[in-house]
Amino acid sequence: MSEAAAAIDGAFRFSHGHRVRYDEVDAQGVVGNATWLNLLQLGRIEYLRYLGILLEGGSRIPVQAVVRQAAIEYLAPARFDDPLSIKVRTAYLGTRSSRLEYIVDNVETRLRCVVGQTVLVCLEMATFRSMPWPQV
């Protein structure tokens, strides 16, 4: 691993392990495009839980963090039963939005499968308008 790659990896302090399930691969035998979004969501939920700021889901909660934008760059395939490491970090935290960055690596081959980012916005669910993040 190069110095630059090691520095980037060092910026990610949270990692969640996941083994690719049969239902996550497509007809080509690799993790499908839509599944990568689900895996980023899995990483995001576990990251927020780790930080102790997981917002409960459901319409009964008046404030939600919702994904406004998602971007993924596909670098290497992952296949059934591959062990993955989903790394997540907060790259930006504003008053009403945040940007999370993701790295997904194959633990066995050490290949970088995916890099991605999501922009989250804090919404008041009654009006669907952005609002400042609640104090936690």
The pTM of this model reads 0.88
The yes-or-no verdict on residue 97 having pLDDT over 80 is yes
Read off the pLDDT of residues 5-51 as tens digits, 9 standing for 90 and up. Answer: 565 677 899 999 999 999 999 999 999 999 999 999 999 999 988 98
Instruction: Read off the tokens for 46.
Output: 């576990």
- Each residue's pLDDT tens digit, 105-133: 999 999 999 999 999 999 988 899 999 98
CA torsion 102-107-112-116 (nearest 10°) is: -20
Domains and CATH numbers, the chain: 3-130 (3.10.129.10)
Are 75 and 116 a contacting pair, CB within 8 Å?
no
How far apart, in whole angstroms, are the C-alpha atoms of residue 49 and residue 57?
13
